[in-house]
Structure 1
Amino acid sequence: MIDLIGWTASAILLATLIRQIITQSRSAQANGVSHWLFIGQASASVLFVVYSVLLENWVFTVTNSCLLLTAIAGQWLTRHRRTAGADPAREGGTTAG
């Protein structure tokens, strides 16, 4: 029963982060996303994964591993959007010339 509480919390947290990634992927703007947010989230997630493995707590091991993946996905989307925004041809625009 106690693990069910942890897995439920994990599912809720991951669902909200996945929803944020979907929203971010649909947005043409990436200006408000800090590179330091990625660095902090990824670093904390790696350390929490190690800590959770050492404690043999699989709820937190899985959750923190998934959080690391969402940080990587968010960073990739941000970079992709910024690169696409700098190149009008990638967004279906036209270039002069």
Structure 2
Amino acid sequence: MADIIGWTASAILLLTLVRQIIKQVKDRQQEGVSTWLFIGQATASALFVVYSVLLDNWVFIVTNSCILLTALVGQWMMKKTSREE
């Protein structure tokens, strides 16, 4: 039961993050998106992946790996759209 709750929370969080990235790129919203937010999110996510591996917790390993991926993809997409303008 606990894993179902964890995986559900993970899916909701990841869907929310992906939707936000899509909205920002679609609307070309770059104001308020800080490079430091990206650096902080990417660093924290990478450290959480290591921590999750040490705990052998697959819900958090997958979730934090995906959050790190969304940070990297989001930053790449924002840079790409800013160059296209």
TM-score, normalization by structure 1: 0.83
CA shift, 1:28, in A, is: 2.4
Task: Name which one, 1 or 2, has greater alpha-carbon Rg.
Answer: 1
Which residue pairs with 2:43 in the alignment? 43
Structure 2: 5+ residue runs without aligned partners?
A: none
Secondary structure in structure 2 of the residue aligned to 1:31: coil
1:55 corresponds in structure 2 to: 55
Classify the secondary structure of the residue corresponding to 1:42. helix
Distance (Å, rounded) in 2 between the aligned partners of 1:50 and 1:36 = 21
Q: TM-score, length-normalised on structure 2?
A: 0.94
Query: Which SS does the other structure have where 2:31 is aligned?
Result: coil
Cross-structure match for 2:28: 28
Secondary structure of 1:28's partner? coil
Deviations 1:39-66 (A, max 9, x none): 0000000000000001000000000000
**Unpaired segments of 5 or more residues in structure 1?**
86-97
Q: How much does 1:30 deviate?
A: 1.6
Runs of 4+ in 1 over 2 A off after TM superposition: none
Report how far residue 29 of structure 1 moved: 3.3
Deviation at 1:32, TM superposition (A): 2.2
Q: Which has the higher contact order (CA 8 A, sep 6+)?
A: 2
Where do 1:11-26 residues align within 5 Å? 11-26=11-26
CA RMSD of aligned residues (A): 0.9
8 Å CA contact 1:24, 1:77 repeated in 2? no
Report the CA distance between 1:27 and its aligned residue.
Answer: 1.5
Aligned residues: 85
Report the CA distance between 1:12 and its aligned residue. 0.6
